[in-house]
Chains A and B, each alone.
Chain A
Amino acid sequence: MRGESLKKTSFLTGLLLLISFLFFLLSSKPWFGKFLGFLAKPIQPLERNLLLTYQKSASWTTYFSTLKTKDQQIFQLQGQLNQLALQQNQLSSCLEENEKIKKLLGSPLPAQWRFVEARVMGMTEKMRIDKGQKDGVKEGMMIVSENILVGKVIKANENDALIQLLSDANTKIPVVVKKPSPDKTKTLGGVQARGLLSGQGGEKLLLDRVLQSEDIQKGDLVVTAGEEGWLPDLLVGQIVDVAPKSAEVYQKARVSPLVEAQNLRIVFIILK
């Protein structure tokens, strides 16, 4: 190894590391954020179009691969089941829902909640939307699709924001379990159980910390409890599988999200 060459390489590495670190520190400054937003602007439409193309091709692939198979029927039934659960909840809380829809449409309402529409730009490890600090988006804000929780803002840049999805292993949401009412015109049943919902990195979510004495069943709806910074009464998912009772203090259940984040194109940010 020649010492001189190593010195030059080390010097260049050090210099570039220093510049990167400087950028890293500056990225928290608002004026630098605006500059980065300006730089990222030409890339964003390209990414958005790429994602749309991907979503379209993915949906066609799914369609052809499941055509005339039982998988397709199961897929459709699951979709219908999720849809029914959604409709049931919507019907049961009609007044509240009307108010929310008005808010979604941007009507001036005295209520605290205000919604801003955002388009999905990227869907990789995290979701990325085309609204950022300049639109009033801040870290910790909830992202919904209709009244279903999609995730939470974990980083707000000037023109875009990163969303931590429910499936993310870092997601932990205090939730309550409610029975869907057999009478669709009535509100949801009372709180059946309380628990902690966590992402598993896959499609399903894990409901944990539910006391053995509490009654949870397949088909029950999981709704945010409104604790630890999460807004209340947002639909999260539906219980698909309850683990058999054991000697443990808590019982567990698998929860299926009511919305497929991968296929979303438009979401709403709750500005509070």
Chain B
Amino acid sequence: MKPYLILIIIFLFVLLQGSFLSLNLVLMTILVFTAFNSSRQSLWVAFVSGLLLDLAQGTTFGLSSLLFLVLTFLLLLYSKRFEPTHLFFLPFFVFFSAILYSLVVWQQIYLLSSLVLFSLTILVLFILKFFPIERARGLKLRT
């Protein structure tokens, strides 16, 4: 999937998260995109999304971006050796990332919304297995 398409989706989620949605769909989208598209584009997507989210939420500018970049980088490192889209990895990674995000940004753990994200990630993984998208391999590391 093209990065600008994912940015459009993320922008919609940013608006929702800035107005009434307590689910961190932006984080989930970035991580799922990174898992399916293990390239350096993911870092740019994480960077831009973080800045947009901070603008929309009114949180300290750059904070979400910092967190998203660290998490994306960790996922990229993982994807060089293992399968990041595995059902026993990605949902858990999203879950713990959401908890970390809420703890750092809101100084509070939102367990329920993290669990919902966990379930949503499983659902998204299933959908993407049934309707596979072309996986870009920008890094071409798994030779």
Contact = CB atoms under 8 A, between A and B. Distances in A.
B81 A16 contact: no
Given A5-B141, A43-B55, 8 more contacts: A2-B141, A13-B43, A17-B66, A40-B58, A50-B15, A51-B19, A128-B57, A170-B108
Contacts of A21: 62, 66
A125 B18 contact: no
A188 B62 CA distance: 48
Q: Counting chain A CB atoms within 10 Å of each CB, which of B47, B55, B61 scores highest?
A: B61
A26 B76 CA distance: 29
Contact of A20 (B56, B57, B62, B107): B62
A32 B62 CA distance: 12
Nearest to B110: A125
Interface string A145-179: 00000000001010011100000111000000000
Contacts of A170: 107-108
Contacts of B60: 24, 27, 155
A47 B20 CA distance: 8
A17 to B, nearest CB: 5
Given A1-B141, A9-B40, A24-B61, A123 B20 contact: yes
A47 B15 contact: yes
Interface in B59-114: 59-63, 65-66, 69-70, 72-73, 76, 80-81, 102, 106-108, 110
A36 B65 contact: no
A43 B14 CA distance: 10
Interface of B: 15-22, 40, 43-44, 46-47, 50-51, 55-63, 65-66, 69-70, 72-73, 76, 80-81, 102, 106-108, 110, 139-141, 143
A43 B65 CA distance: 18
Nearest to A10: B73
Interface of A: 1-2, 5-6, 8-10, 12-13, 16-17, 19-27, 32, 36, 39-40, 43, 46-48, 50-51, 54-55, 121-126, 128, 155, 157, 160-162, 168-170, 201
Contacts of B15: 43, 46-47, 50
A99 to B, nearest CB: 33
Contacts of B69: 13, 16-17, 20
B20 A40 contact: no
Contacts of B55: 36, 39-40, 43
Given A9-B73, A48-B19, A50-B16, A23 B57 contact: no
29 contacts: A1-B80, A8-B40, A16-B43, A20-B47, A21-B62, A22-B62, A24-B61, A24-B63, A27-B60, A27-B61, A43-B56, A46-B19, A48-B19, A50-B15, A50-B19, A121-B18, A122-B18, A122-B19, A122-B56, A123-B19, A124-B17, A124-B18, A124-B20, A124-B57, A128-B18, A128-B58, A155-B58, A160-B58, A169-B108
Nearest to B72: A13
B62 A50 contact: no
B35 to A, nearest CB: 15
A23 B62 contact: yes
B141 A124 contact: no
B58 A157 contact: yes
